[in-house]
Structure formats: C-alpha cells, structure tokens
Amino acid sequence: MIKFKFTLVLFLAIFAAKAQNPLLNLKYEQNYTPTYSEVIKMYQLLDAKYENAKLVEKGLTDVGKPLHTFIINSENEFDPVKIKAQGKAVLLINNGIHPGEPAGIDASLQFADDILRDKNGLASLLKSCVIVIIPAYNIGGLLNRSAYNRSGQTTPYETGFRGNAANLDLNRDFVKCDSENAKSFTKIFQEWNPDIFLDTHTTNGSDHQYSVTLIAPQPNMFPPTQEKFLREKMIPDLFSEMKKGEYELIPYVSWMFRDPKRGIKMDQFSGRYSSGYASIFNSYGMMTENHVYKIYADRVKSCYQFINVLANFTSENADDIIESRKKGFEESMSTKEYAIDSEIDTTVFTEIEFKGYEVDANQISPVTGLKRFGYDRSKPYTNSINFYDVHNATEMVRIPEFYILPQAWKTVIERLVLSKVEFQRLQNDTILEVDIYYIEEFSNAKRPSNGHYFHNKVTTRSETQKINYYAGDLIIPVRQKRIKYLIEMLEPKAKDSFFRWNFFDNILDSREYFSSYGFEENALKYLDQHPEFKKEFQEKQKLDPEFAKNHRAQLAYIYYNTEWAEKTYKRYPVGKLF
C-alpha cells in the first residue's frame, strides 16, 4: 500500500510539473493542415520533450517511407506485452487514411500535445489506458498534396490525395492486404491488439447541422457479451458525453431514403474497411466522419472532442472493456454457427433527435441554372427520426474444427501469418476425408475494385472427398482467437473472403480438356466398359433431339459426367474437418 501511494504521488507530481504551454503550433484555425514532414517533425518534438511518449517506425509504406506509431503512456514503457500485462486498455487511433480528410491528423496532434502537458488534468487518463496514434497512414497520398484534390470541400486550402502511392484506396485494403501500408498496419494491429480502435474520416454525404458523426461498432457483429456492452454502455455513453460539449454527435447518416427525416441506418462494415477489420478481432472499431461542409476549425475541434471523450471512456471503463473482449473471444470460440451475411431489420428501430436541413429536390444550380437535389440551409429543423441498427443473419455456416489449406496458396498463407493465425503443418503426405466446396456460379464486378475484379455473386455446393495432402500443408485449428478472421476469409461466400478478392482464381480455369476427334476412342471405350452409363447416355439421345444432333455436346456429356472430368476444376482448395 505504501509503495502504491508513493507511485501515485510520483505519477501526479511528474505530470503536474509538465503542465505548461503548448509545444506545437497548429494552424487549423487558419485553414491549414500540416504536410507529412511537418506532422512527423511535430511528433518528434513531443518525443524529445516527454519521456513517457515515443515515436516508433513500424514498417514501410508503398511510397518507401516508414509508417509510424506514437505511443503515449503514463511512464517510460512502450512494450505492448508489458503494458497489457499491467491491465491497461489500448486505444489505437488511425489518421490520414484518406489524406483529403485530415481533421484527425490535426486533432490527434492537438490531443497528444494536451495530454502530455496535462492540460485540464488529461494525463490522469493514462493510469489505466495507453494511447497509440498512427500520425498519417496514407503517406503517399499525403505527399501528393494539392488545392484540387477534394472537389467537395473548400477547406482546408491544400490536402492530400485519396489514393496511396500505388493508387489504392487503403480503406478497402485491410483484409486483402495488397499494400505495404496494410501489411505494416496489420503488424501494428496484431502487436497491440487494441481494445478500442478509431479511424478518422470526413464525409460529403447528407447535409445537416452536425460537425461530427460516428460510425459506431455495429453490435450484431459481436458475440452476446460485447453486443450487450455496446448497446447498453459504450454507444449511449459516447453520445451522451459528446452532448455535454460544444459539438453534439449523431450517427453517420447512412441513407435508407434521400430525406433523412424518413430514417437512417447503421450499416455493417466488412473486413475491407478499418472498422470491420477491427471487429473481426473483437476490437471495438469505429470511424468518425467529420462533416465536409463545416469550416475546418470546427471539424478539427469536434474530432478532438470525440477523441477526448473516447479516451476518457477507455480509461474509466478499462476493466469492463478488457473483460467484455475476453468473454467475447470465449463466446466466439464456443459457437457452432457463424453468420456470413445479414440484412437490416426494418421492423426494429429507435427514435433519435436529428438536426437537419429541409430537402429540396428543385434547387436551382448556380453553375448550370438547372434543377438539382440539395438541402435548404435557410430551413433548419429538429425532428425525431427512426434509427435502424439491428441486423438479422440471412446465411449461416457450420463452424469446422479445422481448415486444411495446401501450401501452394502462398499469398493467402502470408496474410494468415501477418494476422498471427495459429496453424500446424502436416509432417507427412497423407489422405484426408474432408468437406470441400465447389464454386458453382460467380460473377465479376464490371469495373476493377482496388485492383481486383471482385466476385459479387457466389454460389457453392459441398461434397465429402478423400484428397491427397502433402508434408507442409496447413492444418488450421478454427477455435482460436482468430476464429472470426478465419471464417470471414476462408469461407468463399463471406463478404470479403479471399475467394471474392481473387486469391483463389486459379481454380476457375480448367487445365485438362478434350478434343472432338482425340477423345473419340476413349469415349467409346468408356461406354463399352460402363453399360449402366451407356444406357443413360443412349436414353438422353432418344429424349433430347438437339442433343442427339450435336456431336460435341454428346462427347462433352461423356467427358463431364465420368471420371474423365477434372476433379479440381472449380474445387475450392480449402478443406474442412468437423
């Protein structure tokens, strides 16, 4: 007890001594957001000034420059394992994923400066949580700076470009992990295993009176304990605390109708997005969406206010947050089925206060002089509207005990390793009887999506087969902490599976074939050796006149309905053991 009192007194004394003037000179009030080099220099200043803060290089990005984390702790300790062993909750904040949306970059710098100098006693938050900030994620986009990058906003004057150095939208790249940025982020995320994750954005969607909106963690994406914690504690508390400040918070206006008065919804974001990626690992992931039509200073300050509220919530509820995730992992690992698709329940809603502007579908464009859809800011209103935030499962899969993945699929294995999936390798060649999918139908997007032709429609059928596996192939136990990740990525019909993102497209090509002349002798031989099949074939000739007149079709019938058929064609390579 004496030791604890001494430590607490020392902690408070250190931070009391540090309460002083701001170290950083931010210019968001002057409609200016810092360049990449200015951002890093400011974090370097904080690192040099404060012994309980550290700027760390954590892997490369596509532009060749390093990704950084800035760690703020109550002491000179920056090792994730040791910090978590102390029972501290981890809040990870990501900024600049879309560099044309820089409010979070400025807000995080301001918050880091304020908490380190203990403005208004902020440093006390660090007693039970550690704050990890990614200063700027899309460095390539941030370096591509221009006054003409973001056509929907007038402030700040210059911003970065949406795509990264490889022209990827990084908020569509989390699970597919094509970019060096995403690979480095995955290492950071898995190293810190954040309890709460925030990604800062700006939106140019619905016009309304709020400077900041929130895409909260969608409760139905979590196991029961975490769903309850979200609905009964976290989400209500965040909105309630924001209302006490200068800037109120509203759910992100995800349209069900063009006029928000008719209701808005909370979407489920899949693993390509940052918040969806976090939820796969039972982390409470969310996005702020600042409002592009508000002046830049208000966007920064409202984002700052939310970061402050979120950090307070993380600190004050650290034990409950950590415990809810622990139970959530246990529940995830014990469930027998998993929802790979869902839809919004339009029969269930809550009523929320919404401060908007009247919709006007007949506004006259000042540019073209023609009618356009818009909002009449001279007609603000405050209304009660319906908010739909319940999703029902529409497709379930039975959870296997193991996935079997041949070692040939190295790009998939690389991503499993990055995500710290536990697996073993077969020691010997063997034959295993597994459940296996065949891809029956699939459709490609008409245009490339982030460098891929995403498979929109996917239908499958299942078979049980004995398949040869070889020493070095992966046996992946499913009931581990990465269970949701494994199902989301290895079930081909899951929303952002490896199959949908083309990682297994080689199976969609047939490697063997038959010629109408060359197959003739083997076809005749097969019919002679299999009288039952021959009878079936001849019956089809009698009943189908078009078939009877088509030489190629008849040979194809023999080829594709016998052992000649290529067993691996459209056979999904991931086997399942129950």
User: For residue 352, with 0-12 CB atoms within 10 Å meaning exposed, 13-18 middle and 19 or more buried, which class applies?
Assistant: middle
- Considering the domain architecture, whether residues 112 and 24 belong to the same structural domain is answered as yes
* Residue 220, SS3 per DSSP: helix
- Considering the domain architecture, whether residues 228 and 318 belong to the same structural domain is answered as yes
- Considering the domain architecture, whether residues 415 and 281 belong to the same structural domain is answered as no
Between 103-116 and 296-316, two packed helices, what is the crossing angle to 10 degrees? 50
pTM more than 0.85: yes
Q: Is residue 345 part of a domain?
A: no
Q: Is residue 307 part of a domain?
A: yes
- Considering the domain architecture, whether residues 110 and 161 belong to the same structural domain is answered as yes
- Considering the domain architecture, whether residues 85 and 162 belong to the same structural domain is answered as yes
How do the pLDDT tens digits run along the chain, 578 residues long?
Answer: 444 444 444 454 444 444 578 999 999 999 999 999 999 999 999 999 999 999 999 999 999 999 999 999 999 999 999 999 999 999 999 999 999 999 999 999 999 999 999 999 999 999 999 999 999 999 999 999 999 998 887 789 899 999 999 999 999 999 999 999 999 999 999 999 999 999 999 998 889 999 999 999 999 999 999 999 999 999 999 999 999 999 999 999 998 888 999 999 999 999 999 999 999 999 999 999 999 999 999 999 999 999 999 999 999 999 999 999 999 999 999 999 999 999 999 999 999 999 999 999 889 999 999 999 999 999 999 999 999 999 999 999 999 999 999 999 999 999 999 999 999 999 999 999 999 999 999 998 889 999 999 999 999 999 999 999 999 999 999 999 999 999 999 999 999 999 999 999 999 998 888 898 889 999 999 999 999 999 999 999 999 999 999 999 999 999 999 998 889 999 999 999 99
Between 180-192 and 410-418, two packed helices, what is the crossing angle to 10 degrees? 40
Q: Is residue 342 part of a domain?
A: no
- Considering the domain architecture, whether residues 445 and 528 belong to the same structural domain is answered as yes
Q: Is residue 339 part of a domain?
A: no
Instruction: Tell me how far apart the alpha carbons of residues 500 and 488 are, in angstroms, rounded to a whole number.
Output: 11
How far, in Å, are 20, 134, 395 from residue 306 at the CA level? 23, 17, 35
How many structural domains are present in the chain?
A: 3
- Considering the domain architecture, whether residues 132 and 248 belong to the same structural domain is answered as yes
- Considering the domain architecture, whether residues 157 and 233 belong to the same structural domain is answered as yes
Question: Do residues 290 and 96 lie in contact, with contact meaning Cβ atoms separated by under 8 Å?
Answer: no
Owning domain of residue 545: 400-578
Report the CATH number at residue 226.
Answer: 3.40.630.10
- Considering the domain architecture, whether residues 255 and 370 belong to the same structural domain is answered as no
- Considering the domain architecture, whether residues 155 and 223 belong to the same structural domain is answered as yes
- Considering the domain architecture, whether residues 490 and 376 belong to the same structural domain is answered as no
Residues 6+ apart with CB under 8 A from 87: 128, 318, 319, 322
- Considering the domain architecture, whether residues 259 and 408 belong to the same structural domain is answered as no
Examine the fold and report which residue of 334, 360, 383 is the final residue of a domain before the chain moves on. Answer: 334
Instruction: Read off the amino acid at residue 371.
Output: K
